[in-house]
Amino acid sequence: MKSTNRRIVMILFMAEFIFSVRAVQMGVSELMFTAEEWEINGVVYDATDKSVLPGATVRVVETSEGTVTDIDGAYRLKGKKGETLEVSYIGYKTQRVKIEKRRSDIFLKRDDALLEEVVVIGYGSQKMINMTGSALQGHVAGLHVRSLTSDRYDRSIRPPLRPPFLQDINSEAYQAFSENPFLTATNDPLSTFSLDVDVASYGNIRRLINQGEVPPKEAVRVEEMINYFSYDYPQPTDGHPVSITAETAVSPWNEKTRIVRIGVKAKEIPSEALPASNFVFLIDVSGSMFGADKLPLVKASMKLLVNNLRPEDRVAIVTYAGAAGEVLPSTSGSDRQKIMEAMDNLQAGGSTAGGAGIQLAYKIAEKNLVKGGNNRVILCTDGDFNVGVSSVDGLETLIEQKRQSGVYLTVLGYGMGNYKEDKLQTLAQRGNGNHAYIDNLQEANKVLVNEFGSTMVTVANDVKLQVEFNPHFVNAYRLIGYETRLLEEEDFNDDTKDAGELGPGHTVTALYEIVPVGVEVPAGNVDQLKYQQQRTNKEKPAFNDTKELLTVKLRYKKPGEEVSRKMEVPLLAPKANLTASSDFNFAMAVAMFGQLLRDSAYKGDASYAKVIELARKGLDNDPNGYRREFIRLVEAVEQLEII
């Protein structure tokens, strides 16, 4: 009996020993396997011309570890020998390669057929084969995507960009406003407004359309849609930092009215001649910034900017969630690795103390102020402020106080489902700055790299326009857009009134619809007057004998100055034959699209087909394909309306 027990004990002991040895062997094997993980890096190129491709998506198929290439086309991520890299980019064929070495340069071939049909969305793309057909499915940077189908947009298959408890909750907020009505030139001969340099509305509208949604009226700011695109206006030549252009054409949505285009162009400055920059990145890391379209996109966006900094430029990073804190003290642009590492360590979580973050960011910007330089806070957020100063009025007061320091503000909006456009618009307007919406890395590259000077540097402050209409030719007029930028007549000459800022090379466009004398005013007419005689539209009262249709007046301040300077340009009354330029045609197409989205009372016989036809006449100046993308968006909305 004892002998048997000893055998059992020995067997159990040997089994345990063998198991332990096996476990150790497995552990060593696992450690050896883990040790094979490499840091893979390389550059993604265009296979045709060998140009680098910034914003390309690179991921490890087996683990979904993913990243996007920087402005130099470079990528860096973790991977193991034998795993598969998948590289994709808009307009190019997706390529897969086995990981055989630590550095792998990738050469992507163009897909011309796909380039004609692609719609940018998030980090990747969707191919619109047929709006009523089956869905095309795929993976982009580890995210599941699907194209638009006959059910418009199936939210159940949306990529999990936010935590489950936040999905399908749409708390986006927009500022409601009424469009400008027609005003008579006899009673209201002056039209005064601040230039609007913001373009956020177009980026946000594009995001909504790419999701398969028709944008709400409140999200549509027509002037921001028009000014998203650059136009070929002449450079200033008379010593002023800006030039003024004006022209007239027949309205594409009402043949009885005329459209006047006023264009303003700021002088261009070579990038190497730009003043030194003192940036403070103010980054929202609260819980609402969870998701690939928010904080990860913020990091990738700001890295594009960092890659283009000079040694004389400086960057500090401030974050805010439940409280605000300095993540990185002011650091030279030559120390990119240190800045990048600080960005990489950011994670989302907590509530949103936006007011405290703004105060700290301005404090640090003022501490490192560069005299004569470009001092700017760059706020990256979805606009969800819910701790401390969080109301629109409170934020407006805070920013108005801070702008006196000489520090400008750039507001970059991110994300879907929680985007607070109303608050971000207020911050940009009151903070001597601008507002853009970043819906993908290509848009970040446009705003922060291609248009760096015009969005991050200022050459003219408090820019205001005042147009005087000649009642001899003009019965009535209406300003298309700029509803939130209107000023009183006396504000034009009041240098204490805040207005918009212009950066180097910036172009701003304003459109007026004109009702000539002898033509009835379209919608929005008023009742007959009871206590005085009503003037008929065909009457021509005695006015100054001039051939001028209107006069455009512009006021601006040079940076650092408190007294404004005035410019004045007349526009002669148009002749019978009015031929619009290519740029003018495109601007009118965008305005017509905006009025359709807003269901404007003044849209006349506008249609999506007319928008597309007119936009195609304005494709001459489209080096980056933004205008062609606009046409694809209009086509998509036309299909959504049918559905």
Q: Residue 638: pLDDT above 80?
A: yes
Which residue, 612, 636, 639, is CA-closest to 127?
636
Q: What percent of the chain has pLDDT over 70?
A: 77
Higher pLDDT, 581 or 35: 581
Contact yes or no for 129/148 (Cβ under 8 A): no
Which residue, 474, 465, 480, 476, is CA-closest to 549?
474
> Can you give the pLDDT at residue 434?
83
The DSSP element (H or E) to which 45 belongs, if any, is strand 37-46
> Can you give the pLDDT at residue 327?
92
Q: Which one of 3.40.50.300, 1.10.10.1100, 1.10.287.1120, 2.60.40.1120 gives the CATH number of domain 37-115?
A: 2.60.40.1120
What is the per-residue DSSP string for 277-342?
Answer: EEEEEEEE-SGGG-STTSHHHHHHHHHHHHTT--TT-EEEEEEESSSEEEEEEEEETT-HHHHHHH
Spacing of C-alpha 593 from chain mean position: 18
With the C-alpha atoms ordered 14, 17, 23, 24, is the resulting torsion angle positive or negative?
negative
User: First CA to last CA across the chain, in angstroms?
Assistant: 86
Higher pLDDT, 571 or 321: 571
> Can you give the pLDDT at residue 565?
95
Residues in contact with 195: Cβ distance below 8 Å, sequence separation at least 6, in sequence order: 264, 463, 464, 465, 485, 499, 500, 502, 508, 510
Contact yes or no for 373/396 (Cβ under 8 A): no
Mean pLDDT of 548-577: 90
The residue with tokens 């086995």 is 98
Amino acid at 103: R
Q: Is 275-433 in the same CATH topology as 37-115?
A: no
Which residue, 231, 358, 351, is CA-closest to 282?
358
Q: What percent of the chain has pLDDT over 90?
A: 42
Which residue(s) pair with 440 in the sheet?
none
Q: Residue 628: pLDDT above 90?
A: yes
> Can you give the pLDDT at residue 357?
83
| Least confident interval from 126-130, 291-295, 301-305 | 126-130
The DSSP element (H or E) to which 555 belongs, if any, is strand 548-557
Task: Name the residue ranges covered by the structural domains of the chain.
Answer: 37-115, 121-162, 189-269+460-526+548-642, 275-433
Average model confidence (pLDDT) for the chain? Answer: 80
> Can you give the pLDDT at residue 641?
73
Contact yes or no for 603/596 (Cβ under 8 A): yes
Cα separation, 541 vs 556, in Å, equals 34
Q: Residue 599: pLDDT above 60?
A: yes
Question: What confidence tens digit (pLDDT) does each residue in 494-525 have?
Answer: 999 989 889 899 999 999 999 999 998 876 55
> Can you give the pLDDT at residue 577?
65
Mean pLDDT of 294-307: 92
Band of pLDDT at residue 287, cut at 50, 70 and 90: confident
The residue with tokens 């009503």 is 534
Question: What confidence tens digit (pLDDT) does each residue in 64-104 have?
Answer: 677 777 767 888 888 888 889 888 876 678 899 998 888 98
Strand 460-469, strand 548-557: pairing: antiparallel
> Can you give the pLDDT at residue 139?
30
Band of pLDDT at residue 133, cut at 50, 70 and 90: very low
Strands of 136-241 (E only): list them.
Answer: 137-140, 143-146, 183-184, 190-194
Question: What confidence tens digit (pLDDT) does each residue in 334-376 have?
Answer: 999 999 999 999 988 766 666 778 889 999 999 999 988 899 9
Cα separation, 306 vs 280, in Å, equals 12
> Can you give the pLDDT at residue 404?
75
275-433 falls under which CATH superfamily?
von Willebrand factor, type A domain (3.40.50.410)
Torsion angle of alpha carbons 116, 122, 124, 128, nearest 10°? -40
Band of pLDDT at residue 141, cut at 50, 70 and 90: very low
> Can you give the pLDDT at residue 24?
45
> Can you give the pLDDT at residue 528?
61
Mean pLDDT of 385-410: 69
Find the angle CA(452)-CA(457)-CA(461) to the nearest 5 degrees: 140
> Can you give the pLDDT at residue 475?
94
Mean pLDDT of 220-231: 95
Which residue, 178, 191, 274, 275, is CA-closest to 222?
178
Residues in contact with 87: Cβ distance below 8 Å, sequence separation at least 6, in sequence order: 44, 56, 57, 58, 94, 95, 96, 97, 106, 108
What is the number of other CB atoms lying within 10 angstroms of the CB of residue 535? 14
Spacing of C-alpha 539 from chain mean position: 47
- As a CATH number, domain 189-269+460-526+548-642 is 2.60.40.1230
> Can you give the pLDDT at residue 400?
75
